[in-house]
Amino acid sequence: MKHIDAHIHIERGEYTLNWINEFVGKAVSQDMSEIWLLEHCYRFSEFVPMYEGVCAHSNYIDEWFHRKAGVFSILDYLNLIEKVRNKNYPIDIKWGLEVCYFKKFENLIYTQTKDLRLDFLVGSTHFIDNFAFDHKQEHWDGVDVDKIFKHYFEISTDLANSGLFHGIAHPDSIKLFGHKPSFLLNPYYDKLADALAKNNMYAEMNSGCYLRCGCEIGMDVNMIKAMKSHGVRVLTASDAHIPEDTGDNIITMEKILNEVNE
């Protein structure tokens, strides 16, 4: 069986072949057949304008963003990719970009990505009305959980319908800190899966939330059923940010996917 880790960040090291070799070595030891390497779009100066609203909304996010964002040009990244593509590796390597989705910046996203020679673009929902829901548990204090969950899936469905991406990253990361709405999410799962199917997009079975907070590994069972019933391709992904986490729980998630029936 071909084991794929479809979401691995390289942001914590230099843009060198030695740094990439660390991810490859770990992937080989984990019996991975293919790895998908990427960066967050905010790392590049070309995407910085998308984040003015979220920075104005929160001093914490403003400080975090200006510490990590805009440190490269997209050309720096493309130069690294070209170097890697000119080398032979024992596993397949794909290169992409994780793009934070903001509906009002669809044109900017399209303009900045349309000519890039990347293997994939994966969209992600990280902000809800400028609320950075996945940074700290205490940021949820006083938040209307039901409202946030509804809007999260509405934004994610808009992401799927935007026509900008090949896939959606961690489609249920809203569960990160253990919050649950008062209503069933099945209709939202179904609507999202339908939009993904119509736009020929994949969804990630991502273990990043488990790695960070110990919640369930990958998608909720009912979300898996929705994806399967609509024929959405599901790719396993670790969301690793360091080489040591490459391949994390990939084989476990494959087993879960195989065991869930429509």
Could you give all domains of the chain from N- to C-terminal order, each with its CATH number? 4-259 (3.20.20.140)
Q: Write the pLDDT tens digit of every residue in 158-181.
A: 999 999 999 999 999 999 888 999
CA distance 108 to 103: 10
Q: Is the pLDDT of residue 140 over 90?
A: no
For 70: left if phi > 0, alpha if psi spans -120 to 50, otherwise beta; the answer is left
Q: Kindly report, residue by residue over 28-71, the tens digit of the pLDDT.
A: 999 999 999 999 999 999 999 999 999 999 999 999 999 989 99
* Residue 208, pLDDT above cutoff 90: no
Half-sphere CA count of 210, side-chain side, radius 13 A? 16
> Residue 19 and residue 14: Cα distance in Å, rounded?
7
Kindly indicate the confidence band of residue 135, based on its pLDDT and cuts at 50, 70 and 90.
confident
Tell me the pTM: 0.95
| pLDDT score of 250 more than 70 | yes
213 has pLDDT over 90:
no
Distances from the Cα of 15 to the Cα of 12, 38, 39, angstroms? 10, 12, 11
Q: What is the pLDDT of residue 141?
A: 92
Higher confidence at residue 140 or residue 28?
28
pLDDT(212) > 80: no
pLDDT band at 262 (very low <50, low <70, confident <90, very high): low
**pLDDT at site 214:** 64
- Mean pLDDT for all residues in the chain: 95
Do residues 123 and 50 touch, judged by C-beta distance below 8 A?
no
Spatial CA neighbour of 21 closest among 76, 91, 115, 77: 91
